[in-house]
Structure 1
Amino acid sequence: MRVDVYTPLLLSLLLTAISPVVARRVAPALAARVLTAAAVVTATATVWSLVLLAVTLLDDAPPVVAKARQNGLRLAEPVPETVGVVACLALAVVAHRVGRAVRAEYATRRALRRLCDEHPGDTELVVAASPVPRAFAIPGTPGRILVTSAMLGALGPVERRVLLAHERAHLAYRHAALVTAATLAVAANPLLGPVRTQVAFLVERWADERAADAVGDRTTTAHALARAALTAGRVQPSCGLSFTDRAVTRRIAALQSAPPPHLWSVAAAVLALGALPVLGAADATGDLLSLLTRVLL
């Protein structure tokens, strides 16, 4: 347990280091899914490791000490007591961060959906009269696409098709759920912050590729993205997925080259990396249970 319990933290750093490489070389749809899955599993294993470290403080509880003395046992110290105390504090911080992230996601989605409340429930496209050029995919049942009149006015007919195809891809493939999962993983394990950044970028790249397929022209899609980005200016990211969010220059460059391949071997390696923290946490759990069983039984 002395080593295994720390493996999720160490592997978090490794996952963070390789995520940009995966994002560049693997098809966006596949890369977004495997990075999100690996981040969620790693974050879960990290929290469980903190729980294990906190549980080691039980060996100092008076009833446990008395029971051990009655059985003539010497209590082993799995980790220093200071580490257990730090783990307890870290768990409190994690609970606060996750709760705050959940509230922020809920509040943002509710605010976006309020903009669509006056429209019929089966309306997919909502056009808001606004001088601010924006376009969002708003997840929910049903999902909505919110576009301002300024954004529509800045784009030509083909460019509007690109924009709508992009936002429809966000809704169809539940990109908001992937970004939310990555966001919660980062709330539980801040070391995974760069992975969340890559996932948010990849879902935009994924939607770009689907839009290019829908209009049948990658160059036209790149031009539409560039025009929308110039019109919108700097956009503050939110859980409503926006057409002009996330590294527009990189996305335009990617559309001017061939789509990246589905490197299943790389995807499998990332998933295997995500599974290693679970194995380490499971081994540490077994060691701790064995120790507590000898003391308490």
Structure 2
Amino acid sequence: MRIDVYTPLVLSLLLAAVAPQVSRRVSPALAARVLTAAAVITAAATTWALVLLAATLINEAPPVTEEARAEGRTLPEPVPEVIGVAALLALAVIAHRFYRAVRTEATTRRTLRRLCEGHPADSELIVAASPVPEAFAIPATARAPGRILVTAAMLAALPPAERRVLFAHERAHLTHRHARICTAVTLATAANPLLGPVRDAVAFLVERWADEHAADAVGDRDTAARALARAALVAQRARRACALAFTDRAVTRRVAALRTAPPPHLWPMAAAVLTLGILPALGAAAATGDLLELLEHILD
């Protein structure tokens, strides 16, 4: 089997390396979409490449080796046996990781749905009487619309103009279905742990995307930056994670971004990232042809 089967793994490292730079230079909405698409395609390609490597163990199956010996044929060895075994073990680990990721996502969604119980179906905003300053979006389901949950402590900490920023930020998560993007990249990373930096970049980008949406909605980037900084400060004083679900360093970067002009789309860079995601699929497709040739040789 040629080197094609290994290209998805190598390109995974390259995609992970460029993801942080893309998150800084390209418009958040565009960058989040192309990185997620590239991650999903790459994860599928790497998983299939491992399937192909594991499939080469068919050469070691007793019926195949006995038949070849009886006919005096020599079976080709496309990859060393140890690589095939390693690929098989890797697939078992991936299956376990993927199962855990799916279960975690399902548990999280059930928990979020419970928070909406008892509230009118047409109510977008839910205010929780909690002393902990928090705010987050609850994604829509087939049975219920998306909701925005804000605690009384968070509302009390923000003046009216900054509350509008907060609501616009959370509404952006719902409008642009950020939960689906995050779920897709999380499952891709479960299938290919090398894509961890891509997952982190996308998680940051969806927050930046919502920040830009909020700034546009209120028409004032400075107000959006102040709202984000105040929410983070209030949450830090409460010794909890940032109300917008990010570390202090990430919040600092987001505030700094709102203090400057919106980043450009940079379509060429976005196209290059998407191409980088497609290349592993091409490598896996070429490796599939190699495997089919191997099977044809064995069955002849």
TM-score grouping bracket, smaller chain normalisation: over 0.9
Cα deviation, residue 72, structure 1: 4.2
Partner of 1:250: 253
* Cross-structure match for 2:198: 195
* Counterpart Cα distance in 1 of 2:273 and 2:67: 45
Aligned counterparts of 1:73 and 1:143: Cα–Cα separation in 2 = 63
Helix, strand or coil: the match of 2:149? strand
1:153 has 2:153 as partner: no
Name the structure 2 match of 1:210.
213
Would you say the 8 A contact 2:221–2:258 is kept in 1?
yes
C-alpha separation in 2, matches of 1:168 and 1:235: 22
Match of 1:21?
Answer: 21
Per the alignment, in what secondary structure is the counterpart of residue 145 of structure 1?
Answer: strand
| Alignment map for 1:168-247 (pairs within 5 Å) | 168-233=171-236, 235-236=240-241, 243-245=244-246, 247=250
Q: How far off is 1:243 after superposition? A: 2.4
SS of structure 2 residue aligned to 1:137: strand
Q: What's the offset of the Cα at 1:15? A: 0.4
8 Å CA contact retained: 1:228, 1:244 = no
2:131 aligned with 1:131, yes or no?
yes
The amino acid of 1:210's aligned partner reads H
Number of residues of Structure 1 aligned to a counterpart in Structure 2? 293
For structure 2, the 5+ residue unaligned runs are none
- Quote the residue 1:113 is aligned against: 113
* Per-residue deviation, 1:140: 1.9
Instruction: Report deviation, 1:121.
Output: 1.6
Q: Structure 1 stretches (4+) deviating beyond 4 angstroms? A: 234-237
Aligned to 1:92: 92
Residue range with higher mean Cα deviation, 201-210 or 244-253: 244-253
Which residue does the alignment assign to 1:66? 66
Listed one character per residue, the Cα deviations across residues 52-109 of structure 1 (whole Å, up to 9, x for unaligned) are 1110000111222233345543111011111111111110100000100111111112
Q: Normalising by the residue count of structure 2, what TM-score does the alignment of the two structures yield?
A: 0.95
Task: Give deviations 1:192-216, integer Å, cap 9, x for gaps.
Answer: 1011000000000000000000000
Task: Trace 1:45-64 onto structure 2 (pairs within 5 A).
Answer: 45-64=45-64
Q: 1:235 to 1:79 in 2, by over 3 A?
A: farther
Paired letter, 1:243: L
Secondary structure of the equivalent of 1:146? strand
Q: Deviations over 1:172-197 (max 9, x none)?
A: 00111111111111111111101100
Q: RMSD between aligned alpha carbons?
A: 1.3
Equivalent-residue separation in structure 2 for 1:284 and 1:59 (angstroms): 17
Mapped contact 1:35–1:199 kept (Cα < 8 A): yes
TM-score (norm 1): 0.96
Task: Determine helix, strand or coil for the equivalent of 2:184.
Answer: helix
The question of whether the paired residues in 2 share the 8 Å contact of 1:166 and 1:243 is answered with no
Residue 41 (structure 1) aligns with: 41
- CA distance 1:98–1:59, change in 2 (3 Å): same
| 1:87-141 deviations in Å (ceiling 9; x for gaps) | 1111010000010011111111211221111101221100000000000101123
User: Are 2:11 and 2:276, in contact at CA under 8 Å, matched by a contact in 1?
Assistant: yes
